[in-house]
Structure 1
Amino acid sequence: MSSPRVNLWIVRLLVVAIAASLAACGAASAPTLAPTAALPTIAPTSEPSATMVQTEEADESTPEVTAEATGESVAMGDGVFADAVRGDSLFHYGSNGAPPCSSCHVTDQSAPGRFALGPNLGGMSERASTRIEGFSAEDYIHQSIVEPTSFLAPGFRNSMFPRYGELYSAQDIADLIAYLLTL
């Protein structure tokens, strides 16, 4: 067995070797950044840089109301007009802290076997009007969004985000319904 004095010398030698290794690794100084020139400031002008020219006369006709995703308003009742294109955006991207519907739902009827947490919403415009007697397609979809436990599709359990009715405005919900009616 070695004496404590020899062990102490070995420990000291190891400490010095480790310190020397660390000093060698960190000996290079940190690089200094070269100074950069300031970006020039552009003074504002009173003249616009572009002008708008109207080349055609405005179309004064009233567009036909459809549920097609055209960006035009769709009458939803109660004086609310919905935009299916905006609803498409809400469906795929969400808004106001609410997750997008596409997180759990697919909309392609040609992919019935694709895994989804929620039912496939392809063909919703046809199915929604016949799900619950006395409910229009719009009412059925609205109720399903604001109170997800009201109607559960066969084979699915209650797993829908419960706060769409709180986080989405009446306009958001109307836009989403208009989009779903295009499917």
Structure 2
Amino acid sequence: MPELVLPTTSVHESFLEAMDEFIAEGAENSQTAAWIEHNAPGWREPEAFARFVDAVRADALEETPRPAHHVPCTTLWWVDGETYLGRLAIRHVLNDFLLDVGGHIGYDVRPTRRREGHATAMLRHALPWAGDLGVDPALVTCDDDNVGSVRVIEAAGGVLEDVRGDKRRYWVPTS
């Protein structure tokens, strides 16, 4: 049964397979794409992957150094045993960019496991985590033409506030 967990080295092999899927798909403009750009292929080595996992987990801490335009972010991985299925990020606060475009919560599912209900389950399971971080309601955005994400967000109780450019902006209760 899939579950949301903090990043872990136990899914190393499956995680790498998923990243290869995102590369083949041409992933861009996501946290996953940024991870690939900054960490591949080095994270194939177990020690490098362990450092990557530690850094992703540390990003949730207020005191962790980060670029000025980044905010503390709890990243959770959707896994089934040792199989990596996707990732979800909960941004603790919103800066101007996140308020306009990015939102509190962003997610992606590995390409070969899409259309199986994982994104819907991930978002539903993440809402209590967001609430525990003091986020209520959570802003969740998606591309205006992303019918799958529209369904995911609306299934979680998302209420459309507006469309800005090509982004739909929804407020989702976390409690």
- Superposed pair shares fold, TM > 0.5: no
> What TM-score comes out, normalization by structure 2 length?
0.25
Higher Rg: 1
Calculate the TM-score normalised by the size of structure 1.
0.24
Higher helix share: 2
Higher relative contact order (CA 8 A, sep 6+): 1
